[in-house]
């Protein structure tokens, strides 16, 4: 994901400078979290934070660590199944949002006979397929274009960690950020730890490994990086400390 390197901080009610708004010849403009369109052409922040753009995907949003998660179409989220109904599951995304719905057939190769059987409390990695203020969000665990899971679906084993919304967004785009870069997961992998993660924009991170100790170390490393806003060098130093403690 290509992002702007200039730090532009905005406040609620500010008018976004038109020169900062991406304009792609093929893609429509996509407003992400923290922005609202006021017809005919004004874009106004609804939260305080750093304005971030992805000119390749023609999207723009406000990066903020605080606040409450608001579902947006296309978001990757980690939810916990609350209960099941005849043809869908009710999935909790946060303590302050209404449950999202996940149709039984919204999984790869799912039929009425082969759909996943998810018990209350089961975790799922999903994409928001429908989101507006008058309806409950809807989720899917399959790509609408390819019909493949593409890494989405039930999450078994592992541990779930709460992280800030800003940290979640940074983890999802960590490979290309020049400022506020997250290197902790790459450093842990380079040190020889074997693990897998899933990150939800709703402030959730799932970590799994054959080693419980590894799961705990990865979770601790990410949460400390988040809570203490560690720089890349500080992240590397902290990882070296954790690896030394493990040996």
Q: Alpha-carbon distance 13 to 195, whole Å?
A: 43
Note the pLDDT of residue 206: 98
* Contacts for 232 with CB less than 8 Å, ≥ 6 apart: 181, 183
Helix, coil or strand: residue 130: strand
- Comparing CA positions, the residue from 82, 119, 110, 107 lying closest to residue 97 is 82
- What number does CATH give the domain 161-246? 3.30.1370.10
H helices of the chain, where?
165-172, 184-190, 212-228, 232-246
The pLDDT of residue 7: 63
Cα(128)–Cα(79) distance, rounded to whole angstroms? 11
Checking if the pLDDT of 1 tops 50, the result is no
| pTM recorded for the entire structure | 0.76
Q: Locate 6 and state its tokens.
A: 């200039």
Select the more confidently predicted residue: 97 or 195.
Answer: 195
pLDDT band at residue 118 using 50, 70 and 90 as cut-offs: very high
Any idea which residue has 């922005």 for tokens? 35
pLDDT category at 174 given cuts 50, 70, 90 is low
Give yes or no for a contact between 136 and 101, defined as CB atoms under 8 angstroms apart: yes
Query: Residue 229 pLDDT > 90, yes or no?
Result: no
Region(s) of the chain under CATH 2.40.50.140: 75-156
Give 4's pLDDT tier (boundaries 50, 70, 90).
Answer: very low
Has residue 178 got a pLDDT over 80?
no
User: Which pLDDT value is given to residue 54?
Assistant: 79
Distance CA 154, CA 157 (A): 10
Residues of the chain with CATH 3.30.1370.10: 161-246
Pairing of strands 159-162, 204-208: antiparallel
Rounded to an integer, the average pLDDT of 103-127 is: 91
pLDDT at 180 over 60: no
pLDDT value at residue 246? 87
- The dihedrals phi and psi of 107, each to the nearest 5 degrees, come to -130, 160
User: Residue 6 above 60 pLDDT?
Assistant: no
Contacts of residue 242, Cβ cutoff 8 Å, sequence gap at least 6: 188, 217, 220, 221
- Residue 21 corresponds to which tokens in the numbers above? 């708004």
Residue 177 has pLDDT above 60, yes or no: no
Provide mean pLDDT across the span 109-129: 91
Q: Which has more confidence, 169 or 82?
A: 82
Q: Which pLDDT score is estimated for 2?
A: 39
CATH 2.40.50.100 maps onto the chain at 9-63
Q: Enter the CATH code of domain 9-63.
A: 2.40.50.100
- Classify domain 75-156 by CATH number: 2.40.50.140
């Amino acid at each position: 994901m290509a992002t702007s390197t200039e730090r532009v901080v905005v406040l609620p009610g500010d008018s976004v400078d038109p020169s900062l708004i991406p304009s792609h010849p093929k893609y429509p403009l996509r407003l992400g979290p923290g922005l609202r369109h006021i017809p005919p052409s004004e874009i106004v922040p609804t939260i305080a934070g750093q304005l971030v753009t992805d000119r390749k995907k023609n999207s723009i949003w406000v990066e903020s660590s605080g606040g409450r998660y608001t579902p947006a179409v296309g978001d990757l989220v980690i939810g916990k199944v609350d209960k099941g109904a005849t043809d869908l599951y009710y999935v909790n995304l946060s303590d302050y949002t209404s449950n999202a719905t996940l149709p039984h057939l919204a999984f790869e190769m799912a039929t009425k006979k082969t759909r996943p059987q998810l018990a209350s409390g089961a975790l799922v990695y999903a994409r928001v397929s429908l989101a507006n203020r008058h309806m409950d969000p809807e989720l899917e665990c399959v790509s609408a274009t390819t019909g493949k899971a593409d890494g989405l679906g039930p999450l078994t084993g592992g541990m779930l960690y709460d992280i800030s919304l800003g940290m979640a967004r940074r983890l999802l785009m960590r490979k290309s950020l020049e400022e506020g870069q997250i290197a902790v997961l790459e450093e842990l992998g380079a040190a020889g730890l074997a693990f897998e993660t899933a990150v939800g924009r709703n402030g959730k991170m799932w970590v799994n490994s054959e080693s419980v100790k590894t799961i705990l170390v990865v979770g601790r490393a990410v949460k400390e990086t988040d809570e203490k806003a560690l720089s890349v060098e500080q992240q590397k130093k902290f990882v070296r400390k954790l690896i030394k403690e493990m040996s």
